[in-house]
Amino acid sequence: MTSVGHSLVGASIGLVCLPGFKKIQNRLVFLVGFIAVASLPDWPIPGWGHYRLDISHSVIVNGGIMLGLVLGMRGLAGPTLQTYRLAVVGMLITWLSHFLLDTLYVDSSMALFRPLSDIEISLPVPWLKTMPHVPPPFDRQILSIFWYEALTFMPFLILAAIWRVRSRSVVPGSGDGSNT
Ligand SMILES: [Zn+2]
């Protein structure tokens, strides 16, 4: 999956989990954080990302990191974790969504359970294709791939926005820091 699909899914989940921040900057930072986490396994860090797919795209490895982070946060900032539990759960789901989306390429199969298993998962969607090269250049083929991903995942963002507007109108008066 390219960053288009991951970003749209991250923004959609972020929108559903967005706390009732009054400041627009806080909302934007929150959503950007979700978009960043949606692509976290692809981050170009040495020993991670596409340098080491067996590590960065292992649900076992990532699950261990998630567990460590949650336990660490619980120890260091338990009350904050409790206040923002919906956001934390949403962020973990966003992180995990990366692996599902990566199996949706028509020509991809992912060994997601290394080092425990080499079994490869593939859930191909006929119109979602891998990029022939990393852009730039943004040629016709790359733009077509982005376009199909946008068409596929944009409805999730629209639905999340509608859900958000409707839920906010049902539960008015939330202040900073409250989960709704
Ligand atoms: Zn990936």
Residue-wise pLDDT for 47-88, tens only, equals: 998 899 999 999 999 999 999 999 999 899 888 888 899 999
CA of 100 to the centre of ligand 1 (A): 9
**How many whole angstroms from 98 Cα to the centroid of ligand 1?**
6
User: Ligand 1 center to residue 41 CA distance, Å?
Assistant: 6
Q: Which residues pair with residue 121 across a beta bridge?
A: 110
Q: How far apart are CA 55 and CA 173, in angstroms?
A: 44
Q: How much is the average pLDDT of 23-42?
A: 96
Q: pLDDT tens digits for 121-148?
A: 999 999 998 888 888 888 999 999 999 9
Q: pLDDT tens digits for 83-122?
A: 899 999 999 999 999 999 999 988 888 899 999 999 999 9
CA of 84 to the centre of ligand 1 (A): 27
pTM over 0.85: yes
Ranges of H-type helices in 40-110: 53-56, 59-83, 85-102
Distance CA 36, CA 3 (A): 9
